[in-house]
C-alpha cells in the first residue's frame, strides 16, 4: 500500500472517529448507566433478583480474584515491564482486576444473572407504562401492591441468545491491546464499548421483533449512543465484586433508554398522522 493510500485511510478513520465522538456526545446515552444506578437505588422492588444471590456471588468474586492474582499477575507484569517500565506492576494489577471482573460477570451470567436481568429489564418497562411492549415477549398478570415483578408471568420468547457471551469472548480477544501503552488501552475500551452497548439492548430488540437486518440498521443509526452507553458500562464493569450490582443498574439504564426511544417513536408517529 502506497504512503498516500495509508494517509487517506488514516484520514478517513480519523474523520469517522470524530463523527462517532460527536454522535456519542450529542446522544447523551452515556448517562443512562448513571441514571440506572439512581433508579435502581430508589426502587427496592426491582432489587429482589440481585439480593437473592448476592452472598454466593461475593464468595465467587473473592475466589476468582485470588486465583487470578496467584496465577496471572506475575506473567502479565513481566510482559508489561517491556513496554511500561516501572509502572508495569501497577498496570498489571489493574489488568488482572479487569480480567477478574469479566470472569466473575461471565460465570455469574451463566449461573443466574441472565434470567434475573431480563426480569429486571421487563419490570422497569412495566413501571414506565410500557406494558404493551413487554406483552410481546411475556405473559402479564395483575400487579400485587404495585410490585412490577409480581406482574411478570411466563416468558413467551426463548432467551435471546449469546450476545453478551460473544461480547465477553471479544473482550479476551482484544486484551493484548492493553500491552500497547496508553493508545492500546483507549482502543481496547472503545472496541469493547461498541460490542457491549448493543448487547445491553438484546431484550429490547427481541421485544420489538427485530430481524438481524433491522437490529443492525437500528444500531448503525444510533451508533454514537451505543458507543457512549457501552463505554460507561465497560468502565463500571472494571470494578470487581460491585460489577455484579452494575450488571443490574446497567440493565435498568438500558430499559430507561428503551423507554425514551419508545416515547420518541410514539411522538414521531403522532406527528406523521
Tell me if 237 is assigned to some domain: yes
Stronger pLDDT, 109 or 87, i.e. the higher one:
87
* pLDDT given at position 253: 97
pLDDT at residue 17 is higher than 70: no
47 band by pLDDT with thresholds 50, 70 and 90: very high
Q: Which cell is 19 given?
A: 463523527
Question: What mean pLDDT do residues 57-61 have?
Answer: 86
Stronger pLDDT, 28 or 206, i.e. the higher one:
206
Q: What are the pLDDT digits (tens) for 107-126? A: 877 778 888 899 999 999 99
Domain that holds residue 136: 20-261
CA 271 to the chain's CA centroid = 33
The CA-based angle 76-177-4, given to 5 degrees, is: 145
Most confident of 115-119, 162-166, 257-261: 257-261
Calculate what percentage of the chain has a pLDDT beyond 90.
38
Tell me if 15 is assigned to some domain: no
Question: What mean pLDDT do residues 129-134 have?
Answer: 95
Tell me if 270 is assigned to some domain: no
pLDDT at residue 161 is higher than 60: no
Calculate what percentage of the chain has a pLDDT beyond 70.
84
Tell me if 122 is assigned to some domain: yes
pLDDT at residue 247 is higher than 80: yes
What is the pTM for the complete model shown? 0.82
pLDDT, averaged across the chain: 83
Residue 248 in contact with residue 40, Cβ under 8 Å? yes
* pLDDT given at position 2: 57
Single out the residue of 273, 254, 266, 241 nearest to residue 50, CA to CA.
241
Tell me if 8 is assigned to some domain: no
Tell me if 233 is assigned to some domain: yes
* pLDDT given at position 168: 65
Residue 152 in contact with residue 123, Cβ under 8 Å? yes
Domain count for the chain, please give it.
1
Tell me if 12 is assigned to some domain: no
**Given the C-alpha cell 417513536, which residue does it identify?**
265
pLDDT at residue 198 is higher than 60: yes
* pLDDT given at position 182: 64
Q: How many Cβ atoms from other residues are within 10 Å of residue 115's Cβ? A: 12
Tell me if 3 is assigned to some domain: no
Give the span between the Cα atoms of 223 and 8, in whole angstroms: 23
* pLDDT given at position 10: 46
Lowest-pLDDT range of 35-44, 48-57, 106-115? 106-115
Q: DSSP letter at 143?
A: -
Q: What are the pLDDT digits (tens) for 146-160? A: 789 989 999 987 665
Lowest-pLDDT range of 26-40, 58-72, 100-114, 158-172? 158-172
Amino acid at each position: 500500500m502506497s504512503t498516500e493510500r495509508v494517509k487517506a485511510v488514516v484520514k478517513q478513520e480519523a474523520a469517522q472517529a470524530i463523527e462517532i465522538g460527536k454522535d456519542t456526545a450529542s446522544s447523551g446515552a452515556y448517562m443512562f448507566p448513571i441514571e440506572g444506578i439512581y433508579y435502581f437505588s430508589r426502587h427496592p422492588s426491582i432489587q429482589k433478583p440481585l439480593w437473592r444471590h448476592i452472598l454466593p456471588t461475593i464468595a465467587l468474586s473473592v475466589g476468582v480474584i485470588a486465583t487470578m492474582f496467584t496465577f496471572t499477575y506475575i506473567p502479565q507484569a513481566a510482559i508489561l515491564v517491556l513496554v511500561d517500565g516501572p509502572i508495569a506492576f501497577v498496570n498489571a494489577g489493574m489488568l488482572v482486576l479487569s480480567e477478574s471482573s469479566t470472569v466473575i460477570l461471565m460465570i455469574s451470567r451463566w449461573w443466574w444473572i441472565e434470567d434475573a436481568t431480563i426480569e429486571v429489564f421487563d419490570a422497569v418497562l412495566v413501571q414506565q407504562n410500557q406494558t404493551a411492549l413487554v406483552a410481546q415477549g411475556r405473559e402479564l398478570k395483575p400487579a400485587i401492591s404495585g410490585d412490577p415483578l409480581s406482574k411478570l408471568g411466563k416468558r413467551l420468547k426463548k432467551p435471546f441468545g449469546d450476545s453478551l457471551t460473544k461480547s465477553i469472548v471479544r473482550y479476551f480477544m482484544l486484551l493484548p491491546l492493553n500491552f500497547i501503552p496508553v493508545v492500546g488501552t483507549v482502543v481496547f475500551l472503545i472496541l469493547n464499548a461498541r460490542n457491549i452497548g448493543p448487547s445491553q439492548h438484546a431484550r429490547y430488540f427481541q421485544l420489538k421483533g427485530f430481524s438481524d437486518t433491522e437490529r443492525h440498521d437500528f444500531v448503525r443509526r444510533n451508533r454514537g449512543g451505543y458507543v457512549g452507553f457501552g463505554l460507561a458500562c465497560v468502565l463500571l464493569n472494571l470494578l470487581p465484586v460491585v460489577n455484579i450490582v452494575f450488571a443490574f443498574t446497567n440493565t435498568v439504564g438500558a430499559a430507561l433508554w428503551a423507554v425514551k426511544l419508545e416515547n420518541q417513536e410514539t411522538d414521531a408517529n403522532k406527528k406523521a398522522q
